[in-house]
């Protein structure tokens, strides 16, 4: 049997918690969906969805949302509200795209957060018109 001092025990617990990464977080934000929509005049714009697929509320200010089209930042949200488990927020980019000039729109949705799963915090795609 190995006996540890209190200091050794706490040091070991600290090292173990650091090696497990983000498992202590019970909210999990997901870059869920991106939709390209059309205005009456034929211009294109985007809506995109962030969802909390975790079991706890994502606290106010615990995440930021960035949306890029063709490598350029077109929308961002840095002051964010709490997001309850199972709930989503739909964002709409105000920028419109004239498809007579660009027939290909590459998008990149980024949720910057310290949540339980980094693998679902980004969504990339391409719209060919």
Q: Is residue 67 part of a domain?
A: yes
CA 31 to centroid of chain Cα atoms: 5
Q: What is the pLDDT of residues 64-89, one digit of tens each?
A: 999 999 999 999 999 999 999 999 99
Q: Is residue 16 part of a domain?
A: no
Dist. CA 4–CA 124, nearest whole Å: 49
| Banded model confidence at residue 25, pLDDT cuts 50, 70, 90 | low
- 103: which DSSP letter? S
Q: What is the pLDDT of residues 26-75, one digit of tens each?
A: 899 999 999 999 999 999 999 999 999 999 999 999 999 999 999 999 99
How many helical (H) and strand (E) elements, i.e. helices and strands, does the chain have?
1, 7
Q: Is residue 3 part of a domain?
A: no
Give me the domain span that covers residue 99: 26-128
For the chain, the domain total comes to 1
What CATH number should be reported for the domain holding residue 78?
2.60.40.10
Q: Is residue 21 part of a domain?
A: no
Q: Is residue 80 part of a domain?
A: yes
Q: What is the mean pLDDT of the chain?
A: 85
Q: Is the pLDDT of residue 23 over 90?
A: no
What pTM value is reported for the model? 0.78
């Amino acid at each position: 049997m190995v006996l540890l001092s209190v200091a050794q025990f706490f040091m070991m617990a600290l090292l173990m918690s650091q090696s497990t990464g983000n498992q202590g977080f019970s909210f999990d934000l997901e870059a869920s969906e991106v939709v390209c929509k059309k205005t009456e005049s034929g211009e294109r714009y985007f809506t995109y969805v962030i969802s909390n697929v975790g079991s706890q509320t994502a606290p106010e200010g615990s995440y930021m949302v960035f949306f890029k089209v063709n490598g350029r930042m077109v929308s961002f949200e840095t002051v964010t509200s709490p997001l309850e488990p199972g709930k989503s927020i739909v964002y709409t980019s105000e920028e419109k795209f004239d498809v007579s000039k660009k027939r290909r729109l590459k998008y990149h949705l980024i949720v910057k957060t310290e949540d339980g799963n980094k693998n679902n915090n980004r969504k990339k795609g391409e719209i060919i018109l």
